[in-house]
């Protein structure tokens, strides 16, 4: 059986979500490289101690994650640091962040598909747009998005009729101006501030915030699908959704 290296995985990811499209402030690529032959890959949104436990249980020595395991400059190391444990356990980490946010079939594109949009296209870097099958009230769309994502959704403009929707996964509330400029009725994102919601409303744009993890986690399945297509000989697994927040509405279905 042909072996696979961490660098080969990074090269294939580059074909999908080029590393040079990441924002200058970002930290993407092979962040922890233990130089080993790959035994398996676990795909995840974040690299946490729980995700490392999952990788070990599956026999995977590489984690392909969306959020960088090292994001800000590190001034000291401690036993609690996830990246320290990765090195100790011999697990490599490859992280595709803003490059994957922007990519076709990446994070925002996947979110648009997940909530049932069609005619999906990239309007402005991180922002993708699409249309609903039919017009509906904003309250109906928020409920639909919540059901699709297994999320509790905050939203504005309950009675507004919406059809053309902009999406930015994760923390995208500040893209309301771009959404309005793209002729959209609503912006669906993960996080938005009180003032972003007010400003969007003043512009006639509805806004829905469905949670950072909840709007990004759907891409993990796409990450796993891509790896299986590139490396059919590799074991590829998908980590459980692991948001740091708990939802009050326990009845919300989990995808």
pLDDT tens digits along 29-61: 999 999 889 999 999 999 999 999 999 999 999
> What digits encode the pLDDT tens for the residues 120-170?
999 999 999 999 999 999 999 999 999 999 999 999 999 999 999 999 999
What proportion of the chain, given as a percentage, has pLDDT over 70? Answer: 96
Pick 2 or 198 by higher pLDDT.
Answer: 198
Sign of torsion over alpha carbons 149, 98, 220, 57: negative
**Tokens matching residue 173:** 């509330």
* pLDDT recorded at residue 242: 80
Query: What is the rounded distance in angstroms from the CA atom of residue 221 to the CA atom of residue 17?
Result: 16
Buried b (16+ CB within 10 A) or exposed e, 74-100: eeeeeeeebbeebeeeebbbbbbbbbb
* pLDDT recorded at residue 197: 96
Please determine, for residue 255, whether its predicted confidence score (pLDDT) is greater than 70.
Answer: no
**Tokens matching residue 28:** 């993407």
Q: Would residue 35 be called left, alpha or beta, if left means φ above 0 and alpha means ψ between -120 and 50 degrees?
A: left
> What digits encode the pLDDT tens for the residues 64-104?
999 999 998 888 988 899 999 999 999 999 999 999 999 99
* pLDDT recorded at residue 157: 97
Q: Is 213 exposed, middle or buried (0-12, 13-18, 19+ CB in 10 A)?
A: buried
Please determine, for residue 216, whether its predicted confidence score (pLDDT) is greater than 60.
Answer: yes
Kindly state the average pLDDT of the residues 15-25. 97
* pLDDT recorded at residue 243: 79
Q: Angle at Cα 220 formed by Cα 93 and Cα 48, nearest 5°? A: 45
Residue 243: partners with Cβ closer than 8 Å, 6 or more residues away: 211, 212, 213, 214, 217
Query: What is the rounded distance in angstroms from the CA atom of residue 107 to the CA atom of residue 120?
Result: 13
The H or E element containing residue 198 is helix 194-202
């Amino acid at each position: 059986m042909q072996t696979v290296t961490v660098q080969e995985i990074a090269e294939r990811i580059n074909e999908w979500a080029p590393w040079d499209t990441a924002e200058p402030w970002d930290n993407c690529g092979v962040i922890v490289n233990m130089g080993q032959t790959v035994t398996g890959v676990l795909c995840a949104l974040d690299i946490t101690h729980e995700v490392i436990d999952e990788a070990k249980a599956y026999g995977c020595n590489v984690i392909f994650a969306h959020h960088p395991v090292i994001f800000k400059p590190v001034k000291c190391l401690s036993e609690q640091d996830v990246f320290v444990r990765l090195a100790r356990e011999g697990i490599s980490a490859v992280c595709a962040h803003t490059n994957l946010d922007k990519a076709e079939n990446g994070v925002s594109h996947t979110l648009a598909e997940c909530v049932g949009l069609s005619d999906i296209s990239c309007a402005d870097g991180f922002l993708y747009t699409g249309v609903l099958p039919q017009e509906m009230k904003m309250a109906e769309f928020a409920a639909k998005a919540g059901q699709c994502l297994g999320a509790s959704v905050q939203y504005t403009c309950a009675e507004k009729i919406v059809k053309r929707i902009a999406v930015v996964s994760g923390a995208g509330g500040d893209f309301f101006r771009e959404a309005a400029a793209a002729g959209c009725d609503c912006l669906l994102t993960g996080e938005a501030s009180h003032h972003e919601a007010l400003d969007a409303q003043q512009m006639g744009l509805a806004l829905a915030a469905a949670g950072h993890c909840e709007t990004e986690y759907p891409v993990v399945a796409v990450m796993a699908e891509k790896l299986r297509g590139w490396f059919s000989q590799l074991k590829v697994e998908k980590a459980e959704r692991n948001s740091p927040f708990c939802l009050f509405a326990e009845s919300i279905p989990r995808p």
